[in-house]
């Protein structure tokens, strides 16, 4: 029946990958992801996990090994952060184009320069258009559950795409949290063994990764785009099955007190917990505030996001990453605006950049942002960086 | 037809744009590139196999008598075989116009 | 006896009479007329047979064998990028190892081959290669050395020889062409203390195929460096690819040797070396060189060869 334990989230993530019985792990150390792969190599060293652990010489090679391994038909896992992600990004695009169901956890961290080991979502934002399915965890339990879900969805023959599970560096990765770890039999009942749809096998020779001339490149991209679009139904279905088996139900967008909210905070990741605390504090002062948290980042859940926010007068959209658009909106801000445009809906919207490179965000900050959004009156205002010293 | 030309719908593509018919490049007539054609004088040929192992296009096949014959469907006419034949029994002749 | 010597002690070898008929690489590829690179690759594949997984770097040999919807490969083949084929093969090998051990497959005898051009090997991919050699994966790496980035239009690499004119080391009023000496990739591989390193040339197919076969029999990494004439980039006759490859060996430009468990073994001693000028004359990439330049290069080649003989314990 599994058990509930107090455990560092990184350790739990590694245990989850081990419970998924991964065959190959290829990874390179980078803070704050390191504990995940350290623990996996420990599990292999102690014989708790029968897998090949490839201690590669770079993240670029980590993802390249993962492609080789997944193409050979093995269940494959890796983890990275920030600069490591940036280095491997060339190969991440190829993993999704080749339709290989690799699972990667990214302990989100700011991008250099200045070099910073602390949290923000710059790496996640950089990875958003790679064609990977992307989920974002709010707490340790979700990290574990999303890892099982990632294998389940990615390996589904209706999908066959790599999946990136994002968790906030330090804020989540290094926290000790109470987490329910299922036992092997429970995981096996949810996650069938990986059956590759195609593999590098001398008995059935295939050529993977051929040259795409102009007369086929567009079709190749179309097919890939369809795969990502179609994955959404499977993602939701796999969450439903997960809920039925484990009692924890997930959906693409999570909501908190949005039904009657005048102002809704749109957020991703662990910051949403602070946002919910702030919503309660503001509600105590008579302000109707709610939170919509995006769990499924790619494919982007447009309808699921519009549904809870459509009644709100004001929207506070949080981008936890610097995005030098030079225009009015950051990345999430832009995505939300495009959803509203499609629905011909015009609330008062403010886009804030928060928590850059490990900067704290307080409940007071939320009060300030909610205030600004309410006072905006629907005019377009450029994004604003919160908590910046003058 | 689509499978040969590659002019196909995105729905017909194999997973990840892969190619599942091994060696189907063999459908490609690289012999069209040729302006000179290697012709072997089997009277002089010693069946040494040099032409066979030095051909970059796998054009030669050994026949029942042990002679190496060209498959002109693929021969690009590079002339390596003629250059390397130890008894100079391969002549490069202009393709007929 | 070392690991490599032990593994190959009963090896019989190929000869021209018993050539395997198998062609894992098929006709219909789009390499230029007389391409020496694809010839070397073809010979290697004949030696390996079909129980193999091939990982390709971006470069001529990837482009000419795989324009969609046609593949020249009769064996499983994967291309991912330019600089990472050693990492891709590491992943494939590790996957097979894990899946065999866990009983998910029963294919213990598959050979894993990675190949790349000189640019892919000696420049952009040297880190991934070093990592894979150092980790000791059981695979063969073949560097197909045509001494420049041919696929992108004959740019210099660190494997381009001194004096060769390329599109990024052009000969000109103030330039002799490439101004650096060719990187010694086999020595870099040897420094990883892997069981087997060898050089080979398609002008000596039996020697080449024997080395490939040995590499496949030896557990752990094997590095093979193939001289791969490119008539297009070297500006020589397409019919002369094999001749120029032979002359490279005979003029000591590209000596053939093995390094078995760290021991250098000369494959063939060049008894009466040809002058390097003869080798240069065949290729227009060298035609701007003066007699003094050629003399200077000759001295360097002689010294390098003497050094190699010493390593091999062979009398000069
Ligand atoms: C990261 C990256 N940089 C550059 C290129 C462009 N590129 C493709 S192949 C190639 C040169 C290949 O040279 P080499 O490895 O010597 O192989 P050859 O074509 O000569 O056989 C270059 C520069 C690329 N594909 N990827
Ligand atoms: S190289 Fe010449 S002699 Fe040898 S088999 Fe070919 S044609 Fe005959
Ligand atoms: S001319 Fe070239 S391609 Fe044709 S058979 Fe001779 S070596 Fe092969
Ligand atoms: S450019 Fe050179 S190496 Fe590339 S296919 Fe042509 S001859 Fe071969
Ligand atoms: Mg090259």
**The length of chain C, given as a count of residues:** 316
8 Å CB contact of C71 and B58:
no
Please tell me which residue of chain A has the smallest CA distance to C93.
Answer: A69
Are A304 and A254 in contact, with CB atoms under 8 Å apart? no
pLDDT digit string, tens, across residues A218-229? 999 999 999 999
pLDDT digit string, tens, across residues A56-96? 999 999 999 999 999 999 999 999 999 999 999 999 999 99
Please state which architecture CATH assigns to domain C3-312. 3-Layer(aba) Sandwich (3.40)
Residue B47, pLDDT above cutoff 70: yes
Residue B11, in any domain of the structure: no
Mean per-residue pLDDT for B3-20? 90
Chain B residues whose beta carbon lies within 8 Å of the beta carbon of residue A206: 14, 18-20, 22
Residue C100, pLDDT above cutoff 60: yes
Residue B8, in any domain of the structure: no
C-alpha angle C183-C184-C187 in degrees, rounded to nearest 5: 150
**What integer pLDDT is reported at residue B3 of this predicted model?**
65
**Phi first, then psi: what are they for A294, rounded to 5°?**
-85, 115
Residue C18 vs residue A154, higher pLDDT: A154
ipTM for the predicted complex: 0.97
The model's pTM is 0.98
Ligand with minimal distance to B55 CA: 3
Residue B38, in any domain of the structure: yes
**How many domains would you assign to chain B?**
1
Q: How far apart are CA C196 and CA C189, in angstroms?
A: 9
What domains appear along chain A, each with residue ranges and CATH number? 3-246 (3.40.50.970), 253-385 (3.40.50.920)
Mean per-residue pLDDT for A275-300? 97
Residue B6, in any domain of the structure: no
Mean per-residue pLDDT for C245-252? 98
Q: Which domain holds residue B83?
A: 29-94
Residue B1, pLDDT above cutoff 70: no
Are C108 and C138 in contact, with CB atoms under 8 Å apart? no
Mean per-residue pLDDT for C102-124? 98
Domain residue ranges of chain C, discontinuous segments joined by +: 3-312
Closest among C267, C268, C260, C266 to C217, alpha carbons compared: C260
Residue B96, pLDDT above cutoff 90: no
Q: How far apart are CA C281 and CA C258, in angstroms?
A: 29
Q: What is the least distance, in Å, from the CA of A93 to any CA of chain B?
A: 12
pLDDT digit string, tens, across residues C176-226? 999 999 999 999 999 999 999 999 999 999 999 999 999 999 999 999 999
C-alpha angle A195-A201-A202 in degrees, rounded to nearest 5: 155
Are A57 and A84 in contact, with CB atoms under 8 Å apart? no
Among A residues 57-76, those touching chain C with beta carbons less than 8 Å apart: 57-58, 60-62, 64-74, 76
Half-sphere exposure of C23 (CA within 13 A, CB side): 22
pLDDT digit string, tens, across residues A247-261? 999 999 999 999 999
Host H or E run for residue A207: strand A207-208
CATH code at position B90: 3.30.70.20
**What integer pLDDT is reported at residue A170 of this predicted model?**
96
- The set of residues, in sequence order, having a beta carbon less than 8 Å from that of C173 and lying 6+ positions away, is none
**What integer pLDDT is reported at residue C167 of this predicted model?**
98
Are A26 and A54 in contact, with CB atoms under 8 Å apart? yes
- The set of residues, in sequence order, having a beta carbon less than 8 Å from that of C174 and lying 6+ positions away, is none
For testing the chain C interface, which of A92, A199, A202 should be mutated: the one with the most C CBs within 10 Å?
A202
Residue B6, pLDDT above cutoff 80: no
pLDDT digit string, tens, across residues C258-295? 999 999 999 988 989 999 999 999 999 999 999 999 99
β-strands A176-181, A296-298 pairing:
unpaired
State the residue for tokens 């662990």.
Answer: A270
Residue B77, in any domain of the structure: yes
Residue B2's pLDDT band, with cuts at 50, 70 and 90, is low
Percent of chain C topping pLDDT 70: 100
**What integer pLDDT is reported at residue A41 of this predicted model?**
97
Residue A376's pLDDT band, with cuts at 50, 70 and 90, is confident
């Amino acid at each position: 029946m599994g058990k509930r334990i107090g455990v560092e989230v990184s350790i739990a993530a590694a245990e989850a990958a081990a419970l998924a019985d991964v065959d190959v792990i290829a990874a390179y150390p980078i803070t704050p992801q390191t504990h995940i792969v350290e623990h996996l190599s420990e599990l292999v060293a102690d014989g708790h996990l029968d897998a090949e652990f490839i201690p590669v010489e770079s993240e670029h090679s980590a993802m390249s090994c993962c492609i080789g391994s997944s193409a050979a038909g093995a269940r494959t896992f890796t983890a990275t952060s920030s600069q490591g992600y940036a280095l491997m990004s060339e190969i991440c695009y190829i993993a999704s184009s080749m339709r290989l169901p690799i699972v990667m956890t990214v302990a989100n961290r700011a991008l250099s320069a200045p070099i910073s080991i602390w949290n923000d979502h710059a790496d996640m934002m950089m990875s958003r258009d790679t064609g990977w399915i992307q989920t974002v965890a709010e707490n340790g339990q979700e990290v574990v559950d999303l890892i099982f879900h990632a294998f389940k969805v990615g390996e589904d023959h209706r999908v066959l795409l790599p999946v990136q599970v994002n968790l906030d560096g330090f804020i989540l990765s290094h926290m000790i949290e109470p987490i329910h770890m299922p036992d092997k039999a429970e995981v096996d009942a949810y996650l069938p063994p990986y059956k590759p749809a195609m593999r590098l096998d001398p008995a059935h020779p295939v050529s993977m990764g051929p040259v795409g001339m102009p007369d086929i490149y567009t079709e190749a991209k179309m097919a890939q785009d369809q795969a990502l679009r179609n994955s959404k139904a499977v993602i939701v279905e796999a969450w439903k099955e997960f809920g039925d088996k484990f009692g924890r139900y997930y959906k693409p967008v999570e909501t908190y007190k949005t039904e009657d909210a005048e102002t809704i905070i749109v957020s991703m990741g662990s910051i949403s917990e602070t946002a919910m605390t702030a919503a309660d504090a503001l509600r105590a002062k008579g302000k109707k505030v709610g939170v919509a948290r995006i769990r499924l980042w790619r494919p982007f859940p447009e309808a699921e996001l519009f549904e809870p926010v459509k009644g709100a007068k004001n929207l506070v959209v949080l981008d936890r990453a610097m995005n030098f658009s030079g225009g009015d909106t950051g990345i999430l801000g832009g995505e939300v605006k495009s959803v509203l445009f499609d629905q011909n809906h015009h609330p008062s919207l403010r886009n804030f950049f928060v928590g850059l490179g490990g900067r704290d965000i307080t409940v007071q900050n939320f009060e300030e942002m909610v205030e600004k959004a309410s006072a905006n009156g629907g005019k377009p205002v450029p994004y604003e960086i919160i908590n910046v010293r003058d | 037809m689509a499978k040969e030309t590659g002019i196909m719908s995105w729905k017909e593509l194999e997973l990840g744009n892969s190619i599942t018919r091994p060696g189907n490049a063999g459908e490609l007539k690289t012999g069209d590139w040729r302006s000179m054609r290697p012709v072997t004088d089997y009277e002089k040929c010693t069946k040494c196999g040099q032409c066979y192992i030095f051909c970059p296009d796998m054009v030669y096949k050994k026949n029942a008598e042990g002679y190496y014959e060209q498959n002109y469907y693929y021969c690009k006419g590079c002339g390596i075989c003629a250059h390397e034949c130890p008894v100079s029994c391969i002549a490069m002749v202009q393709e007929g116009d | 006896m070392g690991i490599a010597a032990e593994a190959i002690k009963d090896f019989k070898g190929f000869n021209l009479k018993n050539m395997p008929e198998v062609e894992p690489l098929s006709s219909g590829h789009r390499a230029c007329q007389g391409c020496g690179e694809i010839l070397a690759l073809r010979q290697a594949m004949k030696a390996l047979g079909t129980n193999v997984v091939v990982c390709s770097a971006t470069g001529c040999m990837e482009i000419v064998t795989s324009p969609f919807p046609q593949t020249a490969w009769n064996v499983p083949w994967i291309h991912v990028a330019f600089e990472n084929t050693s990492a891709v093969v590491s992943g494939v090998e590790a996957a097979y190892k894990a899946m065999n051990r866990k009983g998910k497959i029963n294919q213990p005898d598959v050979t894993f081959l990675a190949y790349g051009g000189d640019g892919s090997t000696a420049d952009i991919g040297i880190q991934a290669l070093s990592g894979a050699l150092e980790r000791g994966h059981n695979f063969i790496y073949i560097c197909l050395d045509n001494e420049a980035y041919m696929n992108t239009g004959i740019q210099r690499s660190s494997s381009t020889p001194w004096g060769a004119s390329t599109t990024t080391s052009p000969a000109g009023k103030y330039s002799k062409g490439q101004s650096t000496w060719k990187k010694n990739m086999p020595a870099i591989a040897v420094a990883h203390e892997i069981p087997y390193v060898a050089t080979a040339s398609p002008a000596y197919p039996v020697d080449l195929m024997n080395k490939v076969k040995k590499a496949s029999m030896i557990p752990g990494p094997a590095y093979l460096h193939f001289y791969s004439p490119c008539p297009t980039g070297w500006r020589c006759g397409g019919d002369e690819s094999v001749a120029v490859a032979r002359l490279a060996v005979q003029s000591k430009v590209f000596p053939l040797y093995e390094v078995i468990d760290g021991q250098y073994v000369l494959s063939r001693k060049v008894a009466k070396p040809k002058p390097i000028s003869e080798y240069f004359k065949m290729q227009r990439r060298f035609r701007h060189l003066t007699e003094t330049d050629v003399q200077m290069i000759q001295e360097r080649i002689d010294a390098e060869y003497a050094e190699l003989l010493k390593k091999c314990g062979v009398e000069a």
